[in-house]
Structure 1
Amino acid sequence: MAIISFWGIQHGLGVTSSTAATAALIGMEYQVRSLVSQPQWSDNTLQRIFQKTIQHQNPQGFQTSGGLDALERAVRSGRFERESVKNNSLILVPDRLDILKGTTKADRGQFDDASEVINLIYQKATEYYDLVLLDLHSGRNSPVVLEALNQSDLIVVCLSQNINVLERFFLQREQQPEAFQNKPFVILLSQYDEDSKFKVKNICNKYRYKGPVFTMPYNTSFKDHSNDGEILSFFRRNQQLTKFHPNRFFIEESRKLALHILNESGINTQVKQISGKGA
């Protein structure tokens, strides 16, 4: 139904971890069919974040799953069907969250040249999945990125509290892709420090910005689980927390972004919410 693209103006802004966190939380707490993928050349960080879950849920197929390259071949040979994406993806949460492996092409030029086919694959995926969450390469130097942004239903722009990053986005508008002229977007401050002078309110006031702003706070436990390939375990263990639990702020802020994405995608969150979750 909807394509949600996570994108940053430069590297190091937590795009991959934010995509993974949002996908994992939605997969744990909502009865929604979601797909998460990383259409980037020579980067499988997203897959590594989910690695232990992939191996557990797909004991026979995690090494041989076709992924993006197999789907590209299917498109070019005329064998691409409604459930082709599902059949070439790996299970993370049964019936709720899958991951589509990225490319293994050795040549970046070949990957960039396939941008039209790659984005056709994700568009077709929306016929089966309610949500398609994409972890895009930062910057504007890839035709795959630019085409993905143009076909997105919502763009999540990952920024930080670094003044140089903020000024590049808010004051140097010419660096923004053309998609920002006609596509809805929200800002996500990743690695957020709530004790910083550059809080959400102060940033919005400084740059006279009135659009939606969300945060993904820095959290040591989340980072450790990501490095261990057990990000889903982090969310499973932190669904119900006491008021002063150290992970509560991270979970609450992550839920705000997930809820906004679901609402903007036309999903009835009250009906789709799985009972038993809550902080």
Structure 2
Amino acid sequence: MGKTIVSWSPVHGQAATTSNVAALAAHFGLKYTHQSLITHTQLTHSTLETLFGKEMTTSRGFDSGIEALERLTKSNLLKADAVRDYTETVYKGRLDLLGGTQNQSLETPQLLEVLLSVTEDAYDLVWIDAHSGTRSNTSRRLLNKADIVIVNLPQNRYVLEQFFSGEGFPNELKEKEIIILISQYDKHVKPGIQKIKSKYSKKYPVFPVNYSSKFKDASNSFGITELFYRVTNSNKGLDMQDFIDSLAKVNKYIAKKLELEDTEEDDE
């Protein structure tokens, strides 16, 4: 049975929720031997696809992604071994992407739950980019269902105060395995990571995801697939090594919690 990691934030548009989960999944896919799937809860096209250079088209939507699996679901033909036929490859044998659709009528929580139950049987690890906030019933159900919830927060004192005071902390997280990520972290900006850990979060692990201009550029040009492949398979990524190291620490923690720590590949 595969494990589910849900990437979520209590705030909209401030915490790099999509880029964080894309970076973690890409790094994990290249460093660990398990097979992963990454998808999102928008069901329509999202930033996640463009980050990996997978542009949505009307014709592609019919043959792959959510729309294709939705047809199989209606016909009771959706099986775990068929899921990969309707995904797109990011890293062969390591990471696939289940894209959305332009058909707004497919956005139903019931369909999402069916798809997730099947994809968990098809993959060792399913990364999900969830809609921020708690207004979405789908997001709340995913927080309940997840094996690990990644809570993405900006390096912003007000947002941190709101979340850890309980105002932005949903009930669905109270008994969950949680990782707190401080997105686009800058060590020259206050509050620093040690201050955040000591003041706000003594119960949950807190990790910085260091800011990287190289990753930002690759995200803006929809080229993170190639970026991670080059950096992971060469010694020329030192100008973004702080960023890669921060991802490695998060993924090592995830792998340990999911009992996958012995599957990390040695660097050549």
After TM superposition, the score normalised by the length of structure 2 is 0.90
Distance in 1 separating the partners of 2:34 and 2:115: 20
Distance in 1 separating the partners of 2:17 and 2:222: 17
Distance in 2 separating the partners of 1:63 and 1:41: 11
Tell me if structure 2 keeps the 8 A contact 1:159–1:189: yes
Is 1:248 the equivalent of 2:241? yes
Tell me if structure 2 keeps the 8 A contact 1:9–1:138: yes
Q: CA deviation at 1:62?
A: 5.5
Distance 1:80 1:265, change over 3 A: same
* Candidates 220, 223, 226, aligned match of 1:233: 226
Bigger Cα displacement from structure 2, 9-18 vs 115-124: 115-124
TM-superposition CA deviations, 1:206-243 (whole Å, max 9, x none): 2252321111111110011112121022222223547x
- Give the equivalent residue in structure 2 for 1:150: 144
Is 1:125 the equivalent of 2:119? yes
- Give the equivalent residue in structure 1 for 2:104: 106
Unaligned ranges ≥5, structure 1: 56-60
Distance 1:162 1:34, change over 3 A: same
* Partner SS, residue 121 of structure 2: coil
* Partner SS, residue 188 of structure 1: strand
TM-superposition CA deviations, 1:22-79 (whole Å, max 9, x none): 011011111110000111154420000001xx58xxxxx9565421122223223211
* Partner SS, residue 69 of structure 1: helix
- Give the equivalent residue in structure 2 for 1:274: 265
* Candidates 70, 73, 77, aligned match of 1:75: 73
Question: In the alignment, residue 120 of structure 2 is paired with which amino acid?
Answer: T
TM-superposition CA deviations, 1:106-141 (whole Å, max 9, x none): 35xx62xx2132022112211120100001111111
- Percentage identity across paired residues of the two chains: 31
Is 1:16 the equivalent of 2:7? no
Tell me if structure 2 keeps the 8 A contact 1:65–1:89: no
Number of aligned residue pairs = 262
Tell me if structure 2 keeps the 8 A contact 1:72–1:118: no
Distance in 1 separating the partners of 2:190 and 2:167: 27
Question: In the alignment, residue 81 of structure 2 is paired with which amino acid?
Answer: E
Distance in 2 separating the partners of 1:3 and 1:209: 24
When the two chains are superposed, the root-mean-square deviation of aligned CA atoms in Å is 2.1
Tell me if structure 2 keeps the 8 A contact 1:71–1:85: yes
* Candidates 222, 237, 257, aligned match of 2:250: 257
- Give the equivalent residue in structure 1 for 2:185: 192
TM-superposition CA deviations, 1:218-273 (whole Å, max 9, x none): 1110011112121022222223547x933111010010111111222221x33x22
Tell me if structure 1 keeps the 8 A contact 2:61–2:101: no
Question: In the alignment, residue 204 of structure 2 is paired with which amino acid?
Answer: G
Distance 1:65 1:229, change over 3 A: farther
After TM superposition, the score normalised by the length of structure 1 is 0.87
* Partner SS, residue 217 of structure 2: helix
Q: CA deviation at 1:189?
A: 0.5
Distance 1:161 1:23, change over 3 A: same
Is 1:45 the equivalent of 2:59? no
